[in-house]
């Protein structure tokens, strides 16, 4: 992992103005509402409510799939780009990468988070740190991602501010520093005192889509405070902010970049309150595009040559065309439409003639893009997760792992005449990274592996919807899979001796299917030259 620093040599302005981030939260904390307000303040939509059509809860325009409509969950990650004019006068470009909200999609989520430079953690002021927030936070921590926190729903009865901060510090083991301090809560919530800028922000309850009124004051002791805040609340505010300054760590920009401190803003997304301050915070303190880990060398964002990596593949976004879109995070350079890039894995040139930029309102042809941006490249299956594209150099972006699935099931076509189509459908989902598909060396059929149980349902529904093929998932005798490594002759001997346990994954890599941890321990004892691993680098 590279060191993030604001003191790094200056980036070209087009790259320096970019912020690529994801929102992590527990379902219902307000991610969709916050996304909508980001777009509203970014000028990408005219009116809140456009993102989520009335009556159809939990759907933003970033959701594509039928399944999402039916189930009301966000299955796929996608990206949205929009501009934001920060208070500092800087014209920022935000790339918001949507993380799948359901706890079952951790692998997809992990890979999504390899494409961002920071995360916004949204928590519900009444509920604090919830299970899904914690899981996603742990994934961010693996990469030391900088995290900015938004405590939402302060217009409702919330927990005590110190309690919320304590809980985050203790539960997530990260320093928390208040960027703002709430004045009252629930019905008495008036707004926040902006600690970083020493001024008062008042909430406008009358118009949910308006930016809050800012009252410029000279600190907490400014007598004009009393014009806006009733005496009892003002006394509490002064006391609490004083205590907070004494007890809680002061804001430290470097600690934020290192991922050891998170600033917290309080607000109410639905009332558009606190959102602009958070966006200014992302602009001011959030990192610009960072270097990307690769072999044989790291890629710096300001290199003049273009490079990027695929972190997600989504198939059948339009069921009428069997298109696939590979989501490419640009690691370096200035990309222009029509550019010929090298697909490093196959060493083949690839003309990128119709890249797509996911603007909030629509998909649009991307005429150009810079390091930090995410573009979609329609293709017919050449691009896979983990692939690197460059202007010729044989670089391979690292750190995009594939995890051993935790659940295995046999998959059969409902109609045996269509077994061939099943092969094709499963391969496609494997390439998308939606499932692992194993072909046992003995016997027929496929074993499908996923990380979360709901994925079987998602797969069955997509295979039926996209391929018109009913399928059945049935319990398998195996419970997990491990990739096999070792000297070639030893691996061959091992495969021969364990025929009933062997299978090939969709890249034709050898895996050992197990029933019990005991199997794995036994291999450790009996086959000292064989290594079994539960992750594999995608390439």
Show contacts with ligand G4P in window 450-489 (CB under 6 A): none
Name all contacts of 77-81 with Cβ < 8 Å and 24+ positions apart.
77/108, 77/109, 77/112, 77/312, 77/327, 78/314, 78/327, 78/358, 79/327, 79/358, 79/374, 79/376, 80/35, 80/39, 80/44, 80/358, 80/359, 80/360, 81/357, 81/358, 81/359, 81/360, 81/373, 81/374
390 scored as a contact of ligand G4P (CB under 6 A): no
Among 15, 29, 300, 532, binds ligand G4P (CB under 6 A): 29
25 scored as a contact of ligand G4P (CB under 6 A): yes
Among 12, 14, 50, 58, binds ligand G4P (CB under 6 A): 58
Tell the smallest beta-carbon distance from residue 175 to ligand G4P (Å): 25
Among 31, 93, 26, residue whose Cα is nearest residue 63: 31
63 scored as a contact of ligand G4P (CB under 6 A): no
Among 47, 57, 417, 442, binds ligand G4P (CB under 6 A): 57
Among 75, 182, 78, 81, residue whose Cα is nearest residue 125: 182
Tell the smallest beta-carbon distance from residue 276 to ligand G4P (Å): 14
Enclosing H/E stretch for 378 = strand 374-379
Q: How many residues bind ligand G4P (CB under 6 A)?
A: 18
Among 34, 174, 15, residue whose Cα is nearest residue 98: 34
Residue 358's CB: how many other CB atoms inside 10 A?
A: 26
Residue 359, class by beta-carbon neighbours within 10 Å (0-12 exposed, 13-18 middle, 19+ buried)? middle
Among 179, 225, 270, 411, binds ligand G4P (CB under 6 A): 270
Within 8 A by CB and 6+ apart from 8, the residues are: none
Q: Which is nearer to ligand G4P, 206 or 442 (CB)?
A: 206
Q: Which is nearer to ligand G4P, 34 or 404 (CB)?
A: 34
537 scored as a contact of ligand G4P (CB under 6 A): no
Tell the smallest beta-carbon distance from residue 58 to ligand G4P (Å): 5
127 scored as a contact of ligand G4P (CB under 6 A): no
Among 71, 85, 156, 337, binds ligand G4P (CB under 6 A): 156
268 scored as a contact of ligand G4P (CB under 6 A): yes
Q: Which is nearer to ligand G4P, 127 or 143 (CB)?
A: 127
CA 249-250-251 angle, 5° bins: 120
Residues at the binding site are 25-32, 98-102, 152-155
Among 95, 75, 76, 73, residue whose Cα is nearest residue 28: 73
24 scored as a contact of ligand G4P (CB under 6 A): no
Show contacts with ligand G4P in window 225-264 (CB under 6 A): none
Tell the smallest beta-carbon distance from residue 233 to ligand G4P (Å): 20
Among 179, 195, 307, 257, residue whose Cα is nearest residue 19: 257
Q: Which is nearer to ligand G4P, 156 or 396 (CB)?
A: 156
Tell the smallest beta-carbon distance from residue 479 to ligand G4P (Å): 32
Query: Taking every pair of C-alpha atoms in the chain, what is the biggest distance, in angstroms?
Result: 84
Kindly list the residues in this chain that would bind ligand G4P in the complex (CB under 6 A): 25, 27-33, 57-58, 152-153, 155-156, 268-271
């Amino acid at each position: 992992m590279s060191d993030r620093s604001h003191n790094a040599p200056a980036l070209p302005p087009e790259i320096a103005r970019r912020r690529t981030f994801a929102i992590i939260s527990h379902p219902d904390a307000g991610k969709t509402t916050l996304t909508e307000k980001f777009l509203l303040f970014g000028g990408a939509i005219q009116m809140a409510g456009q993102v989520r059509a009335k009556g159809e809860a939990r759907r933003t325009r970033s959701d594509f799939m039928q399944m999402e409509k039916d189930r009301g969950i966000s299955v796929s990650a996608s990206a949205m780009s929009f501009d934001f004019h920060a208070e500092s006068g800087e014209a920022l470009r935000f790339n918001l990468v949507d993380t799948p909200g359901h706890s079952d999609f951790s692998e997809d989520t992990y890979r999504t988070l390899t494409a961002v430079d920071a995360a916004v953690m949204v928590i519900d002021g009444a509920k604090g740190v919830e299970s899904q927030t914690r899981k996603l936070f742990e994934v961010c921590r693996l990469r030391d991602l900088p995290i900015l926190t938004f405590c939402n729903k302060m217009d409702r009865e919330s927990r005590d501010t110190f309690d919320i901060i304590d809980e985050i510090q203790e539960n997530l083991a990260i320093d928390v520093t208040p960027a703002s301090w709430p004045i009252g809560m629930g019905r008495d919530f008036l707004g926040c005192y902006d600690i970083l800028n020493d001024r008062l922000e008042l909430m406008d309850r009358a118009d949910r889509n308006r930016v809050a009124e800012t009252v410029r004051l000279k600190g907490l002791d400014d007598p004009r405070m009393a014009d806006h805040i009733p005496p009892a609340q003002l006394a509490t505010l002064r006391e609490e902010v004083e205590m907070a300054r004494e007890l809680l760590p002061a804001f430290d920009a470097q600690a934020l970049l290192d991922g050891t401190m998170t600033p917290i803003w309080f607000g109410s997304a639905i009332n558009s309150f606190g959102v602009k301050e958070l966006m200014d915070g992302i602009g001011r303190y959030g990192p610009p595009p960072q270097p990307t880990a690769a072999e044989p060398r790291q890629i710096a964002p300001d290199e003049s040559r273009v490079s990027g990596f695929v972190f997600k593949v989504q198939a059948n976004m339009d069921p009428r065309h069997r298109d696939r879109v590979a989501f490419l995070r640009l690691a370096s350079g200035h990309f222009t439409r029509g550019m010929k890039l090298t697909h490093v894995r196959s060493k083949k040139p690839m003309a990128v003639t119709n890249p797509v930029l996911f603007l909030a309102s629509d998909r649009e042809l991307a005429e150009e893009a810079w390091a930090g941006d995410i573009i979609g490249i329609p293709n017919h299956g050449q691009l896979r997760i983990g692939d690197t594209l460059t202007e010729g150099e044989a670089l391979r972006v690292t750190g995009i792992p594939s995890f051993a699935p935790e659940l295995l099931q046999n998959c059969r076509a409902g109609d045996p005449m269509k077994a061939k189509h099943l092969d094709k459908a499963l391969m496609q989902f494997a390439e998308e990274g939606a499932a692992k598909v194993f072909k046992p060396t003995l016997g027929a059929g496929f074993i499908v592996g996923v990380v979360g149980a709901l994925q079987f349902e998602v797969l069955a529904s997509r295979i039926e919807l996209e391929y018109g093929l009913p399928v059945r998932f049935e319990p398998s005798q195996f419970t997990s899979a491990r990739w096999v490594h070792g000297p070639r002759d030893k691996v061959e001997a091992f495969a021969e001796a364990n025929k009933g346990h062997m299978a090939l994954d969709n890249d034709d890599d050898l895996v050992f299917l197990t029933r019990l941890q005991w199997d794995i321990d036994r291999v450790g004892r009996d086959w000292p030259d064989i290594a079994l691993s539960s992750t594999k680098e995608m390439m």
